[in-house]
Chains A and B, each alone.
Chain A
Amino acid sequence: MEFPAALFPSYFGVGPPQEEGGPAPVAGWGEHGQVLEGGSGRRQVQPAFVPRRGATGERWEAADAAVVPLLLPRAGCWIPSPAPQDILYRSGLCRKLRAGKSRATLDFARQLGHFFVDHPEDAFGSLGRLLHKNFHLGNSKLQRPARSSTIRMTALVEDIDRLEARRGCPRQHLASRLRWFSHLCRDWLFEVPLGLLADCLHEELMQQWSNLLFDDSLTGGALAWLPPEDGGTPVGCLVHPGGQAMNHLYFQDVVLEELPRTRGSPAQFELSGRVQQVAAARVDGQDFVGVRSDYHCGVWRVLGKRGAAPTPLQVIRTDVPASSLTVSPHVPGELSVCTQSGTVYLWSVETGLQQLRHDPQTMFFRDHSPWRWSDFTAHPRVLSCADRTGLQCLDARAPKRCHFDLFKVGKEAGCQQGERVVLPMYLGRAHPSQYLVTTQFSVYVLDERLPLVPVLKWAHMMKAPPLFAHLMPGKPGRSHKVLLGASRTQELLLLQYRGGSQSACQLAGTPQKLHNIAGCLQHLPTQLPHHHHLLQQRLTAPAAGLAATLQEDGPRKSMLIFQLSEAGDVFCQRLTHKAAQPPAPPSRDEATTAPGSSPLFEAPASSPQGLGGEKEEEEEQTFYLSNLEVIINDDEEEDMGTPAPLEEAELVQEPCTNPQPSPAVPSPATALRYRRWLRALSRVCKEPPRHTWPFSLSQRRLFTRRDLEGPPGPSNLQRQMRQWLRQTMEEGGRIQHWETLALQPPPLPQTLEPAGGPDPLSARLTAAWAGDWEQWWEERTSFSVAQRRQALRERRRQQKRAQGRRSLSASFTSSLTYQSELSELSDTGPSLFSPGRPPILSQEGSPPAGSPPVGSPATSAAPDEALLSSQSLRCRGIPKERRKTLRDYLSVWAECPPEPPEPPGSQASELCFPSSQSQLSASQPLRKRPRMGF
C-alpha cells in the first residue's frame, strides 16, 4: 500500500462549484492537465516529465465489425418503454416556442383523453348509465315526446372533432357550446373528481418524463460476469435477467472461444420483481451474486467450479425501493444495501442486517433525488455511502462517530455547477484504496488516503450519464481498464489509467469508443421495412448492463465485453491487444473503424434511411459549410449524423484521396450468428399481438348498400353459419376454424405448389406481409419439379373423378375449360395461412355467409346465391352470353356433393372481400379479359 511520493499539482478550494456548468462536447480533449517530474529515481541531466493525461496507453482494437449476439432471444416479446413522443406535446408552434431553449410540454390533455376513451366505465360509469337515455347521438330529428328530456349530442361531437383538427393551437377558442357543456358537467359527470384524476395523471406523467430523462433505477447494471477460475477451463458464467418482465434470473455458462458461446441450459430463477441490478464479487474462491429489484434483494452463491448450481442464500424485503446493492469483495456473504429513504445497511448472510445510517436528507447540500448508493472500501468495516451530492465513508463499528467525506460535488474536486454523482464504484481490484466516481460530465478517480481531492479527473463527453462501469485491473506495470456505459444512448467508452501506488495516477492513452448494440443493425441481413423497424426498435433499446473480462492465452490478450439491453438481449464484442507499434500507420487506424462510421453516440433511435414508412415527413436539406457539404435529415436525432450523410460529407470533401473507411465486414461466423439470432427473433415474435394482425378493411366502403343486401333466403349453410357466428358472439369467443363445421370436406391433397399461377408477385407480397416471406421463398425454390408434377397429376385425377360424378348440362363443355382454368388459377402457390391462424373477420360485420375466411374450404363449397342474379352478374361486368354458363356452373356446384375444393386465390387484396367475390375474380378468365372484374 504505497502512496505516490509526489502527486500532480492542483489547487484546492472549499465551497460550491464555481465553474459554469453545461455539457461540453469536447472538454476532454487536448489537455495534459498537469505534469510531474516522473523520471526514474536517478537524477539525470534533464528532468523527465510525465503528463497527467496524454501518456501512451495500450492499443486495443475491435476484432469484429460490430457486436455479436450471445444469446438467442427468448420467448415473450419485449414491450418497449414509452418514448418522448408518447408523452410530449407535438406541435409546430410549441416547437417554435421551444426553439433554442430546452423546454418540453407534457401532453396532458391527450393522456386524459386516452383514459376517457379507453376506460369509459371507470371515467363516467354511473352517470353515463343514468344519463344515456337523455343523450341522443343520432343524426335524425328527435321525436316529439322525447325532445323534452333528451339532448342531441351530435353537434357537440362535431365541435370536438373540429377541435381535434386544430390541436396544437394555443389560442384555440373553445366553441361556446363546448364551454357551456363542460362548465355544466365538469363537477358531476366524472366518476373520479376531475381535479383529483388530473393530479394523479399529471404526477404519473411527470414520473414517466423524469424517467425518460434519466432512469437511475438501472444504476450499476443488471449483468454480471463470473470469471473462470485461474487456470481452469475457459468457461465463465453470465448472470443476467430475462423474461418479458425481466423477472427471471439466469446463470448461463459461457465458453470463451473466438466467438463466445453458451454451454448447456442456464440455471433459472423466477423472482417477484423486475431485476434492476446484478452485482457480483469473488471472495475466497466463491462468487457471491447480489440481485436487486425494487422491493427485494437476494443473494446467491456460486462455487468456483463451473457446473455447480447456484444456491440462493437469502432474500430481504424493503418497504422503500432499494437503490443499490453491492457485494463485499472482502468478507464472504456480506453485502451493502441502500434504500431510497436514505438508509444504509450492512447485510451479512450470517448475522442479518445492520443499519448504519438513516438520513432522508442528502449529505452536502439539498438535492431532490432519493437515489442513494453504497459500496465497500479498502477497510472491510468501512462502507461508502453516496447520494447525488457526494460520498461519505462510514465505519460500520461506529457509524455515528467515525466517518469522513470522500467526495463532494464542489470546488474541492473542481466540479461544475449542476454536476451530480451518477455512479460510484470501488476499484479495489485495481488498487485497494481507489474509488471511481462518475458524474454526468466527468469521471473521477479518488484515493481514500487523500479524500476530497480526485487523483484523476477527466471530462468523459458522453451524451448520457454513465450508469454502468466495469473495471478490468491490469497486472503490475500495465494499465487498468475502465469501461463506462450509458443506458439510453448505449454509449460504451474504454478508458485506461495507471498508477496509484508507486507513481501518481495518470490517464493512459486516448479514450476509445466501443461498438454499441445498435451498431450491428447495419450488418444484419436486409430486412423488410416493418421487420427492420421492429429490429431497430429492439436493438436500440436502452442498455441495461455491462460486464467484461480480460482473457490471456499466452501472448494473445483480448477483452470480451458483454452488453445487456432492456429487451433482455446480450451482445458481446471482443477487443484484441496490439503490441505497441509506436507510430501506428494511420491507415490501419482508419480501416478498423467501428460499425461503419456511425458517428459517436448517435442517439439510438436514429437509423439509416430506409424506414421512411413511418416517418411522416422525411425531408433532406443540404446546408453548406462552404467546402463541407452536410446533408441533414429532418430529424433532430438524425442530424447527429447518420452514416449516410457522413459518407456524403466525406465524398464531397475529398472524393478520391480519402475514401470513407469502409465498414469492416463481419466475419462469416459472425454473420451466421446474426442469421441465427434473427431467425430466433422472428420465431419468438411470430405470434404478434392479436390486435395488430388482421389487416381488414371496412366493407362499407367497397360495396354499396345494395350489394351487401343478402339474398332473400339464406341457404342452409348460411343459416348454420350465422347461427354459429351469433352463438360465438354471444359467448364472446371467436371463431378459430370454420372447418370444425359438420360439413368438413375431405382433406386436400398436398397443394404446396410454387406460384406458377396468375400472380406470383401478389402471392409473394402476401407472404411477406404475413411475415413468412423467407419460408415462401425457400419453398418456392426448393420445391422440386417432380413433386410439383406429382401434385398436379394427383389433383387432375381427383378433378376427373369429381367431374365424372356430375351430370352436366350441354353447356358444360365451355364450363369444363372454365373449371380447369379455375383450378389452375386458384392454385396460387402455397397455402399462405396456416390453419392455426384465426380467420379474418371483417370488422363491419358483413353477412356471415359472405365472410367465411379465406383459406377455409367451406367458402368454396357455398357459393353465394347473390351471384346468380343476373343483375349482380351484370354489374360485375360479366357479358350476357356468359352469365348463363356461369349460373349453370355455379348452381351445379352448389348442388353437387362437396368436392375437394381448391384453396382460393391468395391475392392480398382479396383478404377482405366477401368470398363470393374473391371466388369470382379468381374464376374469371383473367387472361382473356384482363379488364374484367376489379
Chain B
Amino acid sequence: MDSFLEEEEDEEAPTVVVAGKRRRRSHPAAQAALQPPLHLPFPPLQPVSSNEHKLNFKKSKEACLSYIQDALLQKQWKRAAEFLTCYVESLEKDYSREHIGPSEMIWRIGTEILWHHSQSSMKEFNCFMEQMKTLGVKRYLKVCLEHVFHLLCNGQIDEAYQNLSLAESWRFGEQTAIQDKEMKLIQAYRGLLDYYSWSKQKNILLEQGEDGFSDLAVEQEMHGYFRKAAVNLKEIIKIPGVWDIFVKCYVDLLEFYGDHNEARQVLNEYAYNSKFPANPNAHVYLYQFLKRQREPKKSLISALKILHDIVPSHELMIDFNTMLQKSKKRKKRRLGLEVIFAALDYAGWKENAKAWSCLARQVKQIVVSEKHLDWIKQEWSSRKDWWPAFHFSRYLAKRNWQEDKSLSYEKALVAGILLGKGCKYFKYVSHRGCKAQLKRFRMLKKFVNRHNLVYLKISGPPDSSVQP
C-alpha cells in the first residue's frame, strides 16, 4: 500500500528548485517539505515579464471557461449558454492532455445548462446528447448512461429503454475497465426496466386471473421479460458493489417463480461476501426474505445478530430485542438487554420512546424477579460514567417532560433503577408527574422507592463506594 502512493506523490508534487544555493545537502526536513501536503494547483504568481505572452488560444479558452463556471455557480444559465457557444471552438485545437478534455467539458456544461435553462426542451436535450455521444469514443457509454438517467427521471421510460438497448449493442475496439463497468451498468438498468415491464404484466395477469381470464400472449411476454431481466440482473450483482435495487428485483423475480434456493443464495452472497461493502440493507433483505419464508426464529435471530454486530443502531434492533426478550433462553434474553443498551448509546435513539420502553420493560422485569442483576450491572459499568450526562441530565428531564410524557416516564423508570431515587432526572419527572396527578408516575415513584437498593448493587463493585 505504501509503495503505490509514494510513486504517485513523486509525480504530483510541483517541484521546487532552489536557486542560488549551491551546496545542496539532503536535509530530511527540507525533503519532506518538498512535497506539499496536498496535490494542489499552483498558486498564481505575479507576472514577471510580458515577452512570452503571445496570442494565446489556451488563455482565452481558460478565461471563457471561468466565465462559464462563474455563470453556472450563480445560476445564470442563459449567460453560461452564450459563453458555451463560444467555448465550443475549443474543440478545434484539442491538444490538451488534461484529465478532462474540452469535449467532456462541453458535455458536462451543456447538460447542466439544459437541465436548468428555462427554454430548454426534452427534444433539444436529446439532440444535444446525441451529438455529445459522437464527440468522444471513450465517453460514449457514460454519456448514454447519463442520458438514460435523465430520461428516467423525466418519466420517459420507453425512450430510456431504447437508448439502453442501443448503447448495449455498441462496440468499439477493446473496452477499458471503466467502459466494462459502464456496460455492465447499462445492462443492469435494462434489466431493471425489464423487471418493471415484467411486474406490470404480472399485475395485469393477476387482475385478469381474478376475473377468471388468462391471456397466453401476456403471460409469454411476461416470461420473456423475466428472462431478459434475470440474465442482466444476475450479472451485475456478482460484482462487488451496492446493488440494492437490482438485488431486490432479482429476488422478487426468483421468488415469484419459486426459486427460493437461488434467492437465498443471492441474498447470502450479497450479505456475507467479504468483497462486498458492509451494507446493512443486505442483511435486512436477507432477514425479510427469511421472515417471508417463515424460517425458524433461530435463523432470524442469527441474521439479526450479524446486523447487530455491524450496525448496533439499526432500527431493526427493536424487533430483535422484542424477539430476544420473548425467548426462553437466558442467553438470548441477556443478548436482548445488550442489544437495547447498545442501541440507546447512539445519539439517534436518544428520544426513541419505543426503545426506552423496551429497556424499561426488561430492566423492570429483571429487578422484579431479582435475578440477573449482574446483567444490568455489566452493561451499566461501561456506561455509568457518561449515560447520566448523556441521557439523564436535568435539562433533558425538563425537555422530555415538555415534549413527550411517555418517553420521560420510561426514561425516569430506567434512571430511577440505574441511578437511584436521588437521580436528577427521576426526581424531576416524578415530581412533575405527581404534581400533575398522573397515576402511573405515582406508581413509578413507589416502584423506584421500593427497589432503591438495586442501584447500590448495580453501581460499583461490591463493597466499594457508592456512585453519587
| 9 residue pairs, one from A and one from B, having the closest CB atoms | A109-B20, A30-B111, A418-B39, A30-B108, A1-B348, A432-B348, A599-B70, A513-B73, A92-B49
Name the interface residues of A602-654: CB closer than 8 Å to any CB of B. Answer: 602-603, 605-606, 617, 619, 621, 623-628, 630, 632, 634-637, 639-641, 645-646, 649-650, 653-654
CB-CB under 8 A from A465, the residues of chain B are 38, 40
Cross-chain contact of A397 among B36, B70, B79, B382 (Cβ < 8 A): B382
Q: Is A112 an interface residue (CB 8 A)?
A: yes
- A213–B16 Cα distance when bound, in Å, is 12
- A92 adjacent to B73 (CB under 8 Å): no
Q: Out of A32, A586, A626, name the residue touching B150 (CB < 8 Å).
A: A32
* CA gap between A430 and B30 in the complex, in Å: 43
Q: Point out the residues of chain A lying under 8 angstroms from B170, CB to CB.
A: none
Knowing A214-B37, A284-B395, the reply to whether A512 touches B73 (Cβ < 8 A) is yes
User: Interface-forming stretch among B209-217, B238-246, B407-415, B453-461?
Assistant: B238-246
With a cutoff of 8 Å between Cβ atoms, the chain B residues found around residue A369 in the complex are 37-38
Q: Is A71 part of the binding interface, using a Cβ–Cβ cutoff of 8 Å?
A: no
Tell me, in angstroms, the Cα distance from A639 to B53 when the chains sit together.
12
Contact with A along B305-327 (1 / 0, CB 8 A): 00000110111000000000000
Segment with Cβ contacts to A, from B3-11, B363-371, B436-444: B3-11
A32 to B149, CA, bound (A): 7
Distance (Å) between the CB of B204 and the closest chain A CB? Answer: 11
A378-B346, A422-B38 known; A108+B19 contact, CB < 8 A: yes
User: Is the Cβ of A625 less than 8 Å from the Cβ of B382?
Assistant: no
User: A627 CA to B88 CA in the complex, in Å?
Assistant: 11
Contact A25 B59 (CB under 8 A): no
Does B401 reach chain A (CB closer than 8 Å)?
A: no
Pair A109/B39 contact, Cβ less than 8 Å: no
Known: A20-B99, A623-B55. 8 other contacts (CB 8 A): A11-B181, A29-B109, A36-B245, A102-B42, A206-B16, A351-B385, A417-B8, A649-B67
Query: What is the distance, in angstroms, from B32's C-beta to the closest C-beta of chain A?
Result: 5
- The answer to whether A420 touches B67 (Cβ under 8 A) is no
Which residues of chain A in 341-387 are interfacial with respect to chain B, using CB atoms and an 8 Å cutoff? 351, 364-369, 371, 378-381
Contact B153 A49 (CB under 8 A): yes
Residues of A within 8 A of B166 (CB): none
Residue A2 CB within 8 A of the other chain: yes
Does residue B188 face the partner (Cβ distance < 8 Å to A)? yes
Answer yes or no: A449 CB below 8 A from chain B CBs: yes
Q: Is the CB of A29 within 8 A of B112?
A: yes
B245 contacts A37, C-beta separation under 8 Å? yes
Q: A51-B153, A108-B19 are in contact. Are A510 and B75 (CB under 8 A)?
A: yes
Contacts of A428 in B (CB 8 A): 347
Closest Cβ of chain B to A406, distance in Å, is: 12
Cβ A511 vs Cβ B73 within 8 A: yes
Stretch at the interface among B224-232, B273-281, B291-299, B330-338: B273-281
Q: Does B416 contact A (CB under 8 A)?
A: no
Instruction: Judge whether B98 is part of the interface by a CB distance below 8 angstroms.
Output: yes
In the assembled complex, the CB of B154 is this many whole angstroms from the nearest CB of chain A, namely 9
User: Is the beta-carbon distance between B105 and A26 smaller than 8 angstroms?
Assistant: yes
The verdict on A722 contacting chain B, using a C-beta distance below 8 Å, is no
**Known contacts A388-B37, A626-B89; is-contact A51 B45 (Cβ 8 Å):** no
Given contacts A99-B52, A623-B59, contact A54 B153 (CB under 8 A): yes
Q: How far does the alpha carbon of A658 sit from the alpha carbon of B60 in the complex, in Å?
A: 21
Question: Among the listed B73, B90, B200, which residue makes an inter-chain contact with A45, where contact means beta carbons less than 8 Å apart?
Answer: B200
Scoring B43, B107, B146, B188 by chain A CB atoms within 10 A of each residue's CB, the highest score goes to B43
Query: When the two chains form their complex, are residues A418 and B9 in contact, meaning their CB atoms are under 8 A apart?
Result: yes
Residue-by-residue, is B47-58 near A (CB-CB < 8 Å gives 1, otherwise 0)? 111111101110
The answer to whether B315 touches A378, judged by C-beta atoms less than 8 angstroms apart, is no
Taking a contact as CB atoms closer than 8 A, the residue among A330, A365, A440, A654 that contacts B2 in the complex is A365
- Out of A94, A96, A510, A628, which one reaches B72, CB within 8 Å? A510
With A and B bound together, what is the CA distance between A388 and B8 in angstroms?
15
Q: Does B329 contact A (CB under 8 A)?
A: no
In whole Å, how far is A331's beta carbon from the nearest beta carbon of chain B? 5
CB of B340 closer than 8 Å to a CB of A: no
Separation of A3 and B310 alpha carbons in the complex (Å): 13
Given known A-B contacts A32-B150, A586-B77, A646 and B67 have beta carbons under 8 A apart: yes
Q: Which chain B positions have C-beta within 8 A of A101?
A: 15
Interface-side segment among B115-123, B255-263, B372-380: B115-123
The answer to whether the Cβ of A203 comes within 8 Å of any Cβ in the partner chain is yes
User: A residues within 8 A CB of B43?
Assistant: 84, 212-213, 488, 603
Q: How would you classify the secondary structure of chain A's contact residues: helix, strand, loop or mixed?
A: loop
Min distance, Cβ B8 to any Cβ of chain A, angstroms: 5
Interface residues on B, range: 35 or more
With A30-B112, A625-B57 in contact, is A23–B41 under 8 Å at CB?
Answer: yes
In whole Å, how far is A178's beta carbon from the nearest beta carbon of chain B?
14
Q: Once the chains bind, are A636 and B395 in contact (CB under 8 Å)?
A: no
B61, CB-defined interface residue at 8 Å: yes
Q: Does B303 contact A (CB under 8 A)?
A: no
Per-position 1/0 for B188-206, Cβ under 8 A of A: 1000100010011001000
A26 and B278 in contact (CB under 8 A), knowing A32-B150, A51-B153, A623-B60? no
A602: chain B residues at CB < 8 Å are 66
Known contacts A623-B56, A653-B86, A590 near B79 by CB under 8 Å = yes
| CB within 8 Å for A599 and B69 given contacts A104-B42, A213-B40, A214-B40 | yes
Interchain CA distance A782-B389 in the complex, whole Å: 66
Contacting residues, chain B, for A450 (C-beta < 8 A): 242, 277-280
5 chain-A/chain-B pairs, Cβ below 8 angstroms: A51-B149, A332-B389, A368-B32, A453-B277, A583-B118
User: Is A7's CB under 8 angstroms from B347's CB?
Assistant: no
Within 8 A of B (CB), among A14-32: 14, 16, 20-27, 29-32
Residue of B nearest to A364 (CB): B1
Q: Does A50 contact B (CB under 8 A)?
A: yes
Cα distance, A27 to B56, chains bound together (Å): 24
Checking B73, B277, B386 against A12 with a beta-carbon cut-off of 8 angstroms, the contacting residue is B277
CA distance A625 to B51 in the complex (A): 21
Residue of B nearest to A213 (CB): B36
Indicate if the CB atoms of A654 and B244 lie closer than 8 Å. no
Residues of B within 8 A of A381 (CB): 345, 386
* Complexed CA–CA distance, A109 and B192 (Å): 67
Complex contacts, A48 vs chain B, CB 8 Å: 155
Interface residue? A91 (CB, 8 A): yes
Contact residues in A for B463 (Cβ distance below 8 Å): none
Q: Which residues of B contact A641 (CB under 8 A)?
A: 63, 66-67, 70
**Neighbouring B residues of A10 by C-beta, 8 Å:** 241-242
Q: Which A residues lie within 8 Å of B280 (CB)? A: 3, 449-450
**Is the CB of A678 closer than 8 A to any CB of chain B?**
no
For the complex formed, measure the closest distance between the CB of A483 and the CB atoms of chain B, giving whole angstroms: 14
Interchain nearest-CB distance for A218 vs B (Å): 13
Find the A residue at minimum CB distance from B240: A12
Please measure, in the bound complex, the distance between the C-alpha atom of A510 and the C-alpha atom of B77, giving whole angstroms: 11
Q: In the bound complex, do residue A112 and residue B36 qualify as a contact, i.e. CB atoms below 8 Å apart?
A: no
Determine if B37 and A12 form an interchain contact, defined as CB atoms under 8 angstroms apart. Answer: no
Kindly list chain A residues whose C-beta atoms are within 8 Å of the C-beta of B389: 331-332
B59–A639 contact, CB under 8 A?
Answer: yes
Interface contact A380-B153, CB-CB below 8 Å:
no
Picked from A379, A453, A493, the residue with its CB within 8 Å of the CB of B345 is A379
Let me know if B434 is at the binding interface, CB within 8 A.
no
Task: Give the residues in chain B near A3, CB-CB below 8 Å.
Answer: 280-281, 284, 311, 314-315
Cα A381 to Cα B46 with chains together (Å): 50
Query: Contacts A12-B240, A51-B153, A451-B278 hold; do A589 and B77 have CB atoms under 8 A apart?
Result: yes
Residue among A26, A365, A584 with max Cβ neighbours from chain B (10 Å): A26
Task: Assess A378 versus B86: contact at CB under 8 Å? Given A12-B277, A206-B33.
Answer: no
Task: Report the Cα distance A365→B64, complex, angstroms.
Answer: 39
Q: Report how far A22 CA is from B116 CA in the complex, Å.
A: 28
Residues of A within 8 A of B240 (CB): 11-13
Bound complex: CA A449 to CA B14 (Å): 38
Beta-carbon contact of A108 and B21 below 8 Å? yes
Flag whether A725 is at the interface (Cβ < 8 A).
no
Q: List B contacts of A532 (CB < 8 A).
A: none
